[in-house]
């Protein structure tokens, strides 16, 4: 199992998170992928590496989607056959919840979401945003995903090659994964998890306006396609058979990891 932690300008919570994850997830290898944070992040990333994490550093900030694809490609190359659980670096996820999500994925062989409970002290903006996006996703796909923007997600090894082909460079990538999963008829497991916010969620790099537009654009396009072409065969409907047949189509490469548009290789540290 690989625990993939995408980071951008990470804070001091990252090194202890690496320690906690490595201790809590049996046999896990922690992979930190930095999205072009620059020299200011070197000390924190070095501390994470000293605690046992593999650290990949991108030279240019490209967005969460690019970082996740980088991690999936690294996993298929260096740990073939291992599933991946993605964890945010901002401390919002309980390590015990990470374990439960990983175990559900292992037990079912399906992608698994850690879905937050939007109650208690959750900010009203987050509560409203999740309710609106959940309703829009259900309207577009006919499927009820209770937390479309959760950062805690686990994927079996057989999906990683496919995940590396899903478009979207920033926060819209995770929405695209859900939409393509719905289009392909793939199962989506959901596990209730706790919700923690630190200092008003100051560790988030989500832009309320720009990233919301990026997230809703594919939703609208998906819904429009269903209305305009209701009888069309689902694009990608053979992906489940492909996953069973070839183990996810792992993308092979050299010792480094390259991004989608030809950025120079970034070696593991």
How far apart (Å, rounded) are the C-alpha atoms in residues 218 and 237? 18
Higher pLDDT, 210 or 261: 210
Please write the tens of the pLDDT for every residue from 49-86.
999 999 999 999 999 999 999 999 999 999 999 999 99
pLDDT at residue 151, as a whole number: 95
Mean pLDDT of 165-181: 95
How far apart (Å, rounded) are the C-alpha atoms in residues 65 and 78? 20
Mean pLDDT of 185-202: 81
pLDDT at residue 127, as a whole number: 79
Q: Does pLDDT of 233 surpass 80?
A: no
Per-residue pLDDT band at 264 (split at 50, 70, 90): very low
pLDDT at residue 260, as a whole number: 39
How far apart (Å, rounded) are the C-alpha atoms in residues 154 and 156? 7
Which residues, other chains included, contact 236 with Cβ-Cβ below 8 Å and sequence gap of 6+?
180, 183, 184
How far apart (Å, rounded) are the C-alpha atoms in residues 181 and 74? 22
Above pLDDT 90, what percent of the chain? 63
Per-residue pLDDT band at 211 (split at 50, 70, 90): low
SS3 sequence of the chain: CEEEEEECCCCCCHHHHHHHHHHHCCCCEEEEEECCCCHHHHHHHHHHHHCCCEEEECCCCCCHHHHHHHHHHHHHHHCCCCCEEECCCCCCCCHHHHHHHHHHHHHHCCEEEEEECCCCCCCHHHHHHHHHHHHHHHHHHCCCCCCCCCCCEEECHHHHHHHCCCCCCCCHHHHHHHHHHHHHCCCEEEEEECCCCCCCCCCCCCCCCHHHHHHHHHHHHHHHHHHHCCCCCCCCCCHHHHHHHHCCCCCCCCCCECCCCCCCCECEC
Radius of gyration of the chain from its Cα atoms, rounded to whole angstroms = 18
Asked if 113 contacts 153 with a C-beta cutoff of 8 angstroms, the reply is yes
CA distances from 237 to 144, 165, 172 (A): 19, 15, 21
| Residue ranges per structural domain of the chain | 2-246
User: Which CATH class for the 2-246 domain?
Assistant: alpha beta
How far apart (Å, rounded) are the C-alpha atoms in residues 17 and 103? 19
Relative to beta strand 2-7, strand 29-34 is parallel
Per-residue pLDDT band at 251 (split at 50, 70, 90): very low
Q: Does pLDDT of 31 surpass 70?
A: yes
Asked if 161 contacts 251 with a C-beta cutoff of 8 angstroms, the reply is yes
| pTM confidence score | 0.82
Asked if 179 contacts 222 with a C-beta cutoff of 8 angstroms, the reply is yes
Strand partners, 2: 29, 84
């Amino acid at each position: 199992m690989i625990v993939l932690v995408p980071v951008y300008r990470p804070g001091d919570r990252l090194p202890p998170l690496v320690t906690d994850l490595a201790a809590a997830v049996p046999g896990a290898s922690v992979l930190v992928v930095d999205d072009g944070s620059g020299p200011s992040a070197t000390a924190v990333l070095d501390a994470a590496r000293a605690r046992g994490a593999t650290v990949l550093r991108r030279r240019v900030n490209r967005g969460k989607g690019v970082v996740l694809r980088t991690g999936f490609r690294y996993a298929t190359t260096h740990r073939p056959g291992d599933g991946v659980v993605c964890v945010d670096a901002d401390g919002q996820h309980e390590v015990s919840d990470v374990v439960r999500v990983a175990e559900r994925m292992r037990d079912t062989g399906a992608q698994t979401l850690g879905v937050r409970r939007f109650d208690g002290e959750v900010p009203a903006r987050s509560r409203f945003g999740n309710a609106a996006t959940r309703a829009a996703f259900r309207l577009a796909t006919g499927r009820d995903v209770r937390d479309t923007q959760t950062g805690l997600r686990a994927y079996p090894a057989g999906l990683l090659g496919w995940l590396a082909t899903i478009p979207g460079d920033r926060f819209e990538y995770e929405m695209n994964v859900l939409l393509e999963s719905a289009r392909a008829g793939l199962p989506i497991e959901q596990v209730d998890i706790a919700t923690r916010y630190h200092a008003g969620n100051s560790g988030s790099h989500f832009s309320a306006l720009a990233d919301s537009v990026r997230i809703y654009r594919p939703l609208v396009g998906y819904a429009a396609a269903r209305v305009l072409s209701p009888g069309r065969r689902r694009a990608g409907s053979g992906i489940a058979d492909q996953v069973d047949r070839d183990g996810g189509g792992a993308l092979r490469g050299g010792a480094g990891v390259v991004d989608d548009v030809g950025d120079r290789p970034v070696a593991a540290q």
